[in-house]
Chains A and B, each alone.
Chain A
Amino acid sequence: MTNARVFDPFAPDAGQHLGGAFDDQAILEGPFGYAVLGYELAGAVLRDRRFQNSALRLMEQFGITDGPVHDFRARSIIMVEGEPQLRLRTPLARFMSPVTVKNTRAVLRTIVEAIADDLDDSAPIEFHNTVARRIPSMVYCHLAGAPMSDAPKVQSISERTLSLLSRDPSLTPTILEAYDELFAYLDDLIGRKREEGLGEDMLSYLIALGDEGKLTELEVLTEATSMLEASSVNTAHQAALVVWTLLRDRNVWKRLSSDPTLIPAAVVEALRLYPRTGVVSKIATEDVEVGGVVIPRGADVHVAVWSANRDPERFENPELFDLDRERNQPLTFSTGPHNCLGQGLAKAEIEEVVGFLVERYPNATVVEDGTRVGQAGGRWLVDTLLVDLKP
């Protein structure tokens, strides 16, 4: 396909593609493998169990071909299918679903307020580092029943382990070291919890499932590891992306100020336009036909979530921020059997951040000079976000 020469989902200028099919093709082949660009096909691939997550292959490409980190990834929830996957999924799901999260709202608010109390709002603040990056690890500590003082360590471990996704093999030693730290931290935390007695938190629940024989000891560790590595970095970037999107649309921001009940819809719409995880990469485990194209076994299939989220076949005027979209189901947290289990928690956290800003700093603005937001390696990321809280 000639189009592949001018379209690469990982290219820095990939975002210039407006979304949906490229030259009428919702799936393209290129040197990178296959790229799925249309919403319907993207959903179909994400729901199809014949496509497996490429995280293990990515690790192997980084030279991590055996040892504890490789073994962890191979048995982790994103890689396994069938009964073992479901056994791993429900214990995590029940602590992060929208229903459970209702009870966590007050804690989220306290965390946001505690961070805000540290801010000097007399001058513009760098929002990503001073606010967005700090929240998720504190939420993790609450959820895992770890002391809040562990939050900086959790944040650092999550950021370094997931640097795998930046697709830079020179980071291999950093990544291996971060996982070593993670395993040691969990060993210690689980030991501490056993000494102090199990509580109502998620980690205690996992340990109890292990004690009851419903999860193996290895599964308990795998679950806890997955939860920690995924805890911080993506949520932090996504929260900053949402704030960046909403603050720059003054009409929307005014509507949110006058009617905060619109915040959840506004968050979903911002998630649609600027998904942190812009590409979800899979591998075909057998020959699969997708949209008239036969993808051979072993091929890389990159689902371009950012393109699917702006597919004009699915979203009217996709480039516009529209607070009133009905059935707004972007693929930002993926979909199907491997959807993001933390999405209920992430959305609630972002809603609380936006709600806090709208209430306390209704006139806040983005200082464009000093803000760098971009797309790299298929992901949207916030380098710096300068916000003037009281202009």
Chain B
Amino acid sequence: MIQVMVDFDRCDANGTCAALMPDVFQIKADGQLELLNAEIDDSREGELEEVILCCPVGAIAHS
């Protein structure tokens, strides 16, 4: 399993991650980001890499 990490001091809830992996990241009704799954299957490493690459504030990392 891969650990998904969000630096909430950097996160500005722009939602790019939620668009790319909606089952892992979600923008809540109050506009803030919620990490739905802190662990994902190894097979999804490529998807997560794309999310990390696309985050405009560099707030996402993995184990």
Contact = CB atoms under 8 A, between A and B. Distances in A.
B12 A339 contact: yes
A336 B53 contact: no
A90 B58 contact: no
A329 interface: yes
Interface stretch (A25-33, A96-104, A118-126, A224-232): A96-104
B54 A329 contact: no
A265 interface: no
A97 B56 contact: yes
B13 A341 contact: no
B13 A93 contact: no
A97 B12 contact: no
Contact of A100 (B12, B53, B57): B53
B13, B14, B20, B31: residue with the most chain A Cβ atoms closer than 10 Å? B14
A99 B57 contact: no
Given A90-B19, A344-B58, A99 B13 contact: no
A363 interface: no
Given A86-B16, A337-B14, A339-B14, A93 B56 contact: yes
B12 A327 contact: no
Interface size classification for chain B: 20 to 34
Interface of B is mostly: loop
A163 interface: no
B20 A336 contact: no
Contact of A337 (B15, B32, B54, B57): B15
A94 B13 contact: no
Interface string A98-135: 11100000000000000000000000000000000000
A89, A96, A338, A344: residue with the most chain B Cβ atoms closer than 10 Å? A89
Contacts of A339: 12, 14, 56-57
A99 B15 CA distance: 17
Contacts of A336: 12-15, 31
A-B residue pairs, 8 tightest by C-beta? A98-B58, A47-B31, A86-B19, A335-B12, A93-B54, A339-B14, A94-B54, A327-B9
Interface of B: 9-10, 12-16, 19-20, 27, 31-32, 50, 52-58
